[in-house]
Amino acid sequence: MIRTWLGELFERFTRKVPVERSHKPLPPHPANVPGTFYVEDGCCISCGVWEDVAPDLLAWLPDGSYSHCFVARQPETDEELSRMMDAMHFAEVDCIRARSCRPDWAERLRNAGLGDQIDPD
């Protein structure tokens, strides 16, 4: 089992072209603003790692009913996309996803190894 896990980890970090895995994403959390990026409803484990890299793009639910993050503002610039990608990389689970992505941004996501977090059209 460990050998399989290590093999998959090695493959993920050494492959030149990211392999997209099929994933049926959960629906977006209703607090997400409309747009390409979203956080899946019920997937957030309150890791908070995005707070250091994209605090202007993601936020916590304001009512405090339970800890769940959401996309508060969509990236508009390449620099903001880079920060959203950092949040996607550093998050402990793959809850931040993209859909109907601009082709150039989709290519950047795939080249960064985040292709499995792009929803199929």
How far CA 35 is from CA of 16, 46, 64, 100, in Å, comes to 29, 22, 24, 8
pLDDT at 58 over 90: yes
Q: Which domains does the chain have, with CATH numbers?
A: 2-117 (3.30.70.20)
Q: What is the 3-state secondary structure (H, E, C) of the chain?
A: CHHHHHHHHHHHHHCCCCCCCCCCCCCECCCCCCCCEEEECCCCCCCCCHHHHCCCCEEECCCCCCCCEEECCCCCCHHHHHHHHHHHHHCCCCCEEECCCCHHHHHHHHHCCCHHHECCC
pLDDT band at 45 (very low <50, low <70, confident <90, very high): confident
pLDDT at 100 over 90: yes
Q: What is the predicted pLDDT for the residue at 19?
A: 46
The pTM score is 0.77
